[in-house]
Each structure stands twice: as structure tokens, then as C-alpha cells.
Structure 1
Amino acid sequence: MGTASLPRLITEFAIPAILGMLVNAAYNLIDSIFLGQAMGEIGLSAATVAAPLMVVFMALAMLVGNGGNALAALRLGEGRKNDAEISLGNTVTLGIVIWIVIAAVAAYPPLLDAFLTFSSATDEVRPYAATFIQILSFGFVLQMIGMGVNNFIRTAGAPNRALLTMVIGAVVCTIFNYILVLKLGWGVAGSAYATLIGQAASCISVLWFFIFTKDAPLKLHLHCMRPHAKIIRSILSLGLASFAVQAGAAVVNFAVNFLLVKYGSASAIGAEGALASIGVVQRIAMFTVMPLVGVSIAIQPLLGFNYGAKIIARVRKTLWLGVAFATSLAVIMWALVHLFPNQIVGLFGITNASLADFTIFALKVQLLMLPLVGFQIVGSNYFQATGQPMKSMILSLTRQVLFLLPLMFWLPEVLPGWFPQFTGLDALYIATPVADFLAIFTVGIFIAIEMRRLKDVESGKIISKY
């Protein structure tokens, strides 16, 4: 990593990372496409109402999975294989405990109703969203292991196997969505069951690796699953940064649903139409951003190794090559959205002409800054890779919590007064590119300061704390 061609290394690292992130994003996209085709706006609205909970589920899986994996990697590096296996076992145990809590909450009607109200479910959408959420909650342990424990496979030195376990789940999910939703007409229940079946396939693949693969450097043993308070505290501590970013996304999702119902009900497309439309836009936007996250993950080991070895020239080159790679992908995604907007939106079963036009326009506006978002994502993750996690977490949260959340509440109140041609609903999706611009500008300032600091590290004026 300190001498080989950086473009070649980045390409080798990036391809499985990008594919893995796309597979992670595929579940919600697949559900929405099949629900939209089978049920139209109601199916899409139910998926949008459930979206904040899906983000919470991902946050919990990352809290346990990323934290446990980081601890296992540290213990393996120290030559303490048994402690690494205890970390793996306690991660599975912690995941099971969290699943039991989630399932209990979903089984208690007042708490489920409270969540639906908090997620701004309308009376028409509420029963469909409740069915979707309950089924996924009862099977949450499959996602907890299939996604969270999957990270340990990479640490065990089998990144392609880790990718395969995710691809298997996405393919199975797609097949069963087609069967249960389109062929058997099971609606949201069928989509939820299809998701669980896909997650079960991933879960079985992950467990098979750690239980039955002979040459796996880590094994899942029953005695290693006995809870250790100190280890569980370490797992939660190490996974907190990943959890915080996803938790911020969940807060934004709750706020978006509330504001969609508020301003959508006052517009021509109505509350359900607004939930369906912006829900589609959010899923497409997430899918376009995931490859950029994959690039930032791919260059992390290259940045960390060369920064630790004080090969500062390669640190700078890796950063800018990563930015260039991510920007190229972002431009391609942006071009596809502008060249084929009707076909993309048509995948989700939106047949109403005015709603389709609104969705296409909102999609183009929300992705206005996409060509520059790669710089923001790679720049934020650079600081995590170089041993500056606080800066990384601050920059990761600036877009959603510091900028986007206030703008979503403020712009719909003031923009129609300044520009009467815009409604409150228009202002809601305009808030996204504004937040993107502010986040990109903020990362630019941090990176400019960092480049000056790297010169001092390179010259020996200051000592890195990596």
C-alpha cells in the first residue's frame, strides 16, 4: 500500500466496496419499485412512512456490527484471536437482545401507533405501514446478523465473500418481491416477507462462514456468546460514530414525513402524493450517493497506511484521486437522472401525469449538487481514515443536522413570500441542494486547513498523532 500504483489500488479496493454499498441500498429501492407497480401511490406512501424505521434499523445494525468488527480487528492485530472471537460472539448476542426489544415494541399496539403518528402516517396509509413495520420488526434479527456481522468477514480477509453474502440477499429479495407482490398480490405484507427472506439468505450465508468454513480465521462459538459487560461497552463505544450519522438521517426522515404531509395536503398532489413522490426521490438519491460512499470506504486503508507511515505525498495523492473517482461517478449518476428521468420514475409505478412531472422536477432539483457531493463525502471520511474521528463525525453531521434540518423548516415559511411561484412543498425539496452546497463549502474549508497541516507534518514541524 505504500509503493504500488495508487490508481490501480483504488480501483481494486473500490469495486467491491461500491457494489457492497449499492446492494445495501437496493433493499428499500426494490421494495418501493414492486410496491409502486402493484399498489401505486398507497404502496409508495407506506414505504415512505416506514423509511425512518428502516434507517433506525440500519443505525442499530451499524452500531453493533461496526463497533464489534472494529474491536475484533484490534484484537486480531494484537494477536489475541480468542478475544476477537469473543467480540464476534458478543456482537451476535447484543444483536439478538436488541431484536427482542424491537419485536416487543412492534407487538405493542400503542407504541406502534405512536411511531406511525410520529412518522406522519395518514389515515389511509396507516394500516399498510403498520403491517410493513410489524413484519420487518419481528424479523429484524436477520438484518442485524446479515448486515452487521457481515463486516467481520472483511476483517477475516474475505471481502469478496462478504460482498457475495449481500448480493445473495438482494437477489433473493427481488425474486420473492416479484412472486409475492406482483404474482400473488400480497401487497405490503408480501414486500415485507420478501425483504425478510432476502435478509435470511444473507444471514445464513454469514453464519455459515463463521460456523462451517474450515479455514475461516474467526469462528462463532457458543461459549463466546456469553455476555461480557466490558466488551459490550467497547462495542457500543466504537460503533457510536456510525450510529450517530444514521440516527441523524432517521431524524431527518421523521421531519421530512411531517413536512410532506403538512405542505403536501395544501398542494394539488395531496399528502399521499407528496409522500409517494418524495419517497421515490429519496430512494433514488440514496442509490446515487452509495457508490460515492463506497469510494470513501475503499480509500480508507490507503489513507491510513500512508498517513501512519508519514508518506504524506501519497496521502495527498490518494485523497485527490478518491475525490476524482467519486466525482466521476457522481457526474455519471447525475447525467443518467437528467437523460432518463421518465424511465427512472416510471419504474416506481407512478402513472398520474402531474405527480410524475412533480417527481421528475423534484428529483432534478434535489440532485442539483450531486456532481460535487463526492468531494463532501470523501473529504469527511478522510479525517476518520487519518485518526481524526471527531472532525469526521462533525462533517458527516453538518449536512443533515446542522444545515438540512433547519432549512427544511425555514425555507417553506419564507421562500413562497420571496418567490410566489414556489409553494411550501417546492421549498421543502429545494432545501436539499442548499444544504449540500453549505456542507461542500464547509468540507472545503476543513480540507484546505488540513492540506496546510500536512505540509508541516511532511517537513517535521509537527508530529502526527495517528
Structure 2
Amino acid sequence: MTQEQETKVASAAAGAPAAPASAAPQGAPGKSGAAGQHNRVTRMGTESIPRLITEFAIPSILGMLVNGAYNVIDSIFLGQAMGEIGLSTATVAMPIMTVFMAIAMLVGNGGNALAALRMGEGKPEEAERSLGNTVTLSLIFSVIVAIIVFVPACLDALLDISGATPEDWGYATQFIRIISLGFIFQCIGMGVNNFIRTAGAPNRALGTMIIGAVACTAFNALFVLVMGMGVAGSALATVCGQAISCATVLWYFCMTKGVPMRLHLHKMPLHAETVRLILSLGLASFAVQIGMAAVNFVLNNLLNAYGAQSTIGAEGALASIGVVQRVASFVVLPLIGMAIAIQPLLGFNYGAHLFNRVKKTLAWGIAGATVIAVVLWALVHLFADPIVGFFGITDPDLKSFTVFALSVQLFLIPFVGFQIVGSNYFQATGQPAKSVFLSLTRQILFLIPLYIGLPMVMPMWFPGYTGLDALYFACPVADFLAIFTTAIFVLLELKRLKKLETGELQAKF
């Protein structure tokens, strides 16, 4: 790194040539504490990239696994306590819960991406405004969600397109309503948690997630297994875990001394331009989750139709593919964790115009995600049978079907890490339109048409397979198409970064 670049990094994080001690964040423990927090941010533009990625990735990946554990924990306890009806209820609720997560990521990931860019540009006040507006947006969306869910016609419509059957309709209604009342805890506990990483404290971010997941597990055991509260107990346990995680996140930004970003009341009133940027930068994450929700909506209805024609029946199909979806989502979470981990590094260095470090960060992020994906792919294929059994599926035919479906659906997982990191890169560097498009390719442009069309033609091409079988074969085909599309975008972006390095282009965000 040249002396000019080092000066740029230092001035970017400081936001001023020589900030006085009084400019330290409120509650900072004096000059040395402020300097320590300052260094935690500036090092994103100076330290070894592999070391930084490792430091940020480990807690980020573990955090995503912990966050994703909420759905898996619910499914395991409901499956063990209620059997197939419990698993099918969780499957029906899953797309609606995915919509909730989409909203949380819209404001959380968008606000965090903006904060990282502003820190890299040397505008810490604007980063704090992004934090404050993110919390306010979380509050507003939480109220809207609760109102919608408690309007019977709205919830009935959601359950109808989620593929709810008469057997699990009442259970799913109860589950979703309880979850919606605690949505504010999810929105802040998961979304605002990302700001802690940008503040240079990835281990603290992980800690806030672990506390919530451990509490969720403990409350599930108490409410579902000990007290026999069933679906209501599982939903209440999830809300309790999220509430505890939310409290620890707010404590960090309100009470912890010397943090580089602080949550101030005067930064919470909505600022039009800040809100616009938060929502535009978060649109890619939102699109991914909404795409997943749309896929689940379509898939659940197709499972009802094709499952009824098979020997395992509609409830069996919902339970089986529901398990496959949860395992697949859990496997993808570490890859998303890697993408989230490098987001502040990409954003800071892009904002500071350190484009060579941006390219290196992207390359190392892709390599790390690929290694993780290969390991997870091997583990799932080696232990598919016990994994399926852990969810409470005991019927031999249903178990055999689920194990095979799991192996097929995760066939191309070793290459999916590249697609996730590649599409997230554009979000981190202030190019939301490209990120949104790439995020939608797999879910909307490829997977849904394949879900609808493949069951119509596959039984004719391969008579040994049914329409139900075609539903899980659609996933690796969609993965291949999405990976190929992302590769084209990444190659073009590398050429653009080369021009930015030489000064032929000017960065705009």
C-alpha cells in the first residue's frame, strides 16, 4: 500500500484531518479508547486480507448458523413431539417466516452496507444516522407486520398460498400470530446485529446470536417437551430467544463505551435520502428472501398436488421436503455468513478507493466459501440418513425418499458459495441493481419455472421418476444456471475494477 493510500484510509475512518479528543463517541473511555476503536475500523484498509476475513468470517458463519438454528430447532422439537403434523405445520409456516426475515434483512443489511460505505468515506456521523434510521424502520415494519397478520382475511390468504391443509391450518395460524408479535425482536436482533461487525467487533456480534439461540433451545425444551404446549410453545420459545438477542444488540450500541458507532435518539428520525439508500442497498437481501418465500409458496402447493398422487401422501410430502428444505437452508447459511463477513471489508475499501484490496477480498471470500461448501456437501452425503432421522421421520419409505431427495437437491452445493459471494459483492459495493438481479436469478427466473415445468416432462423422459421426484431435481439445474450467470457478471466487474484502479473510470455510489 502506498503512502497516499494509507493517508486516505486514515482520513476516511477519522472523518477529519485531526479530530479533537472531544469528538470521540459519547461514553468513550478517553483518548486511548477512542484511538483503539479508530484503529479497529482503519485496519480494514491496511491489515492482511486473509487475516481479516478469517477474523470476521468465523463469528459471522457461526452467527448465521445460530440464527438459522431457530427454524431447525422448531422443526426438531415439533417433529419429536407431534410427528408428521408438527413437521408439516413448520413447513407451511416457513415461507411466511421467510417473508419476515426478508423484511429484517431489507433494513438490516441495507443499513449496514450504507454504514460500511460511509465509514470508508470518512463520514462516521452518516454511519450513525444509518444505524438510527435502521432501528426506526424496524419499529415501523414490525407494527405493519403485526397488523397484517392479525387481519383474518390477510392471514388466511397467506396460509392458503402456503399450501396449508385442513389438518395443519389451525396450528399454523397459532404459530404465525405469536411469531408476528415478536417480529421487532427478530428485526433488531438479526438486522442491526450486522452493524456490530462493521463496528469492528465480529465476536461480539456472534455472542448476541448465540445467547438468543441457546435461550430458544432451552425454552423449546421447557414449553414443548416439558409443558406440552406444542406449536404455541415452540413459537413462544422462538420469540423469547429473539428478545434476548435483541436486548444484547441494543445494549452494545447504547451502553458499551468507546464504540465507533452509537445509537442516538437524534439520529433515529427518518431522513429521506438515508432511507432511500438503506432500502435500495438492502433490496438484494430482501429479493433473495422473497425469492425463497415465493419458491416455498409454489413448492408447498406442488407438494400437495404431486404428493397426493404418491404413496407417501400430501402430508408426507410436506414433511419430507420440509426437512430437505431446512437442511439445505442450514447448509447455505455458512456461505451467506462468508458473504456477510466480507461485506464491511468490501464496503470500506471500495469507499476508500482501494480497489486492489477489493479484488483480493472478493477472491479470498469466494475461495473460503467454496472450501466450506465442499466440506458441508461431504458431511450431508455421508450422514444423510441420521440427519433425516433426527427430525423424527421414522417411516422407512418416507425416510428413504427424504434421504435421496436431500442428496439430489444439494448436488451442486460446492459451487453455490461462488454464486452467493459474487451476488453479495455488488450489494456491498453500492451496486444494488446488479445484486438484485443476480439474487433473483436462481429463485425466480430459474427455480420456479423448473418447479412448474419439470414435473410435466421428466416422467415422460425418465419413466422411473414421478412428478414429485422432479421437484427436487429442479434445484441442481437452477443452481447451475445461476452460477453461470453470476460468473459472467463477476468477470465483467473485475474488468471494471481494473479501470477504476488506473483512473479510467470514477466510482459512483
What is the TM-score normalised by the length of structure 1? 0.92
Q: Which amino acid aligns with 1:287?
A: F
Aligned to 2:390: 347
Q: Secondary structure at the match of 2:106?
A: helix
1:196 aligns with 2:246: no
Same amino acid, percent of matched pairs: 67
Q: 1:433 and 1:399 mapped to 2: Cα distance?
A: 10
Give the CA deviation at 1:71.
Answer: 4.3
Aligned to 1:440: 483
Segment of structure 1 superposing worse, 279-288 or 7-16: 7-16
Aligned to 1:183: 226
1:335 aligns with 2:378: yes
Q: Secondary structure at the match of 1:214?
A: coil
2:505 to 440, 450, 463: 463
After superposition, give the CA deviation of every residue in 1:171-202 in whole Å (9 maximum; x if it has no partner). 10011111111222111111101100100101
Aligned to 1:428: 471
* Shift in CA distance, 325/199, structure 1 to aligned 2, threshold 3 Å: same
Aligned to 1:161: 204
Give the CA deviation at 1:375.
Answer: 1.9
1:268 to 298, 311, 333: 311
Kept in 1: contact 2:120–2:347 (CA 8 A): no
Q: 2:493 and 2:357 mapped to 1: Cα distance?
A: 15
Kept in 2: contact 1:387–1:465 (CA 8 A): no
1:398 to 410, 428, 441: 441
Aligned to 1:49: 92
Give the CA deviation at 1:452.
Answer: 4.8
Segment of structure 1 superposing worse, 3-12 or 335-344: 3-12
Give the CA deviation at 1:455.
Answer: 5.3
Segment of structure 1 superposing worse, 245-254 or 164-173: 245-254
Aligned to 1:63: 106
Aligned to 2:333: 290
Q: Secondary structure at the match of 2:263?
A: coil
After superposition, give the CA deviation of every residue in 1:354-389 in whole Å (9 maximum; x if it has no partner). 111111000000001111112222222333445543
After superposition, give the CA deviation of every residue in 1:288-310 in whole Å (9 maximum; x if it has no partner). 11111222233344445666677
CA root-mean-square deviation:
2.5
Q: Which amino acid aligns with 2:94?
A: A
Kept in 1: contact 2:197–2:344 (CA 8 A): no
Aligned to 1:239: 282
Segment of structure 1 superposing worse, 335-344 or 13-22: 13-22
1:111 aligns with 2:151: no
Kept in 2: contact 1:106–1:138 (CA 8 A): no
* Shift in CA distance, 103/164, structure 1 to aligned 2, threshold 3 Å: same
Q: 2:247 and 2:425 mapped to 1: Cα distance?
A: 34
Please list every run of 5 or more consecutive structure 2 residues that lacks an aligned counterpart in the other structure: 1-43
Q: 1:20 and 1:397 mapped to 2: Cα distance?
A: 24
1:299 to 342, 346, 349: 342
Give the CA deviation at 1:411.
Answer: 0.2
What is the TM-score normalised by the length of structure 2? 0.84
1:372 aligns with 2:415: yes
Q: Secondary structure at the match of 1:299?
A: helix
Q: 1:26 and 1:300 mapped to 2: Cα distance?
A: 22
Kept in 1: contact 2:212–2:243 (CA 8 A): yes
Give the CA deviation at 1:77.
Answer: 5.7
Q: 1:314 and 1:157 mapped to 2: Cα distance?
A: 18
Q: 2:175 and 2:498 mapped to 1: Cα distance?
A: 53
Q: 2:410 and 2:372 mapped to 1: Cα distance?
A: 13
Q: 2:273 and 2:48 mapped to 1: Cα distance?
A: 42
Q: 1:154 and 1:217 mapped to 2: Cα distance?
A: 11
Give the CA deviation at 1:461.
Answer: 8.2
Segment of structure 1 superposing worse, 53-62 or 223-232: 223-232
Segment of structure 1 superposing worse, 67-76 or 348-357: 67-76
* Shift in CA distance, 178/211, structure 1 to aligned 2, threshold 3 Å: same
* Matched positions, count: 465
Q: 2:299 and 2:342 mapped to 1: Cα distance?
A: 32
Aligned to 2:83: 40
Q: Which amino acid aligns with 2:475?
A: T
1:128 aligns with 2:171: yes
* Shift in CA distance, 386/358, structure 1 to aligned 2, threshold 3 Å: same
After superposition, give the CA deviation of every residue in 1:383-410 in whole Å (9 maximum; x if it has no partner). 3445543323222211111111110100
Q: Which amino acid aligns with 1:445?
A: I
1:208 to 221, 243, 251: 251
After superposition, give the CA deviation of every residue in 1:144-194 in whole Å (9 maximum; x if it has no partner). 221122223233333222221111101100111111112221111111011
2:145 to 68, 80, 102: 102
Q: 1:206 and 1:302 mapped to 2: Cα distance?
A: 21
Please list every run of 5 or more consecutive structure 1 residues that lacks an aligned counterpart in the other structure: none
* Shift in CA distance, 219/383, structure 1 to aligned 2, threshold 3 Å: closer
Q: Which amino acid aligns with 2:169?
A: R
Q: Secondary structure at the match of 2:362?
A: helix
After superposition, give the CA deviation of every residue in 1:215-239 in whole Å (9 maximum; x if it has no partner). 3344434454445555444433332
Kept in 2: contact 1:23–1:170 (CA 8 A): yes
* Shift in CA distance, 375/221, structure 1 to aligned 2, threshold 3 Å: closer
Kept in 1: contact 2:133–2:270 (CA 8 A): yes
Give the CA deviation at 1:249.
Answer: 1.6
1:306-317 correspondence to structure 2 within 5 Å: 315-317=358-360
1:325 to 368, 378, 387: 368
Give the CA deviation at 1:453.
Answer: 4.9
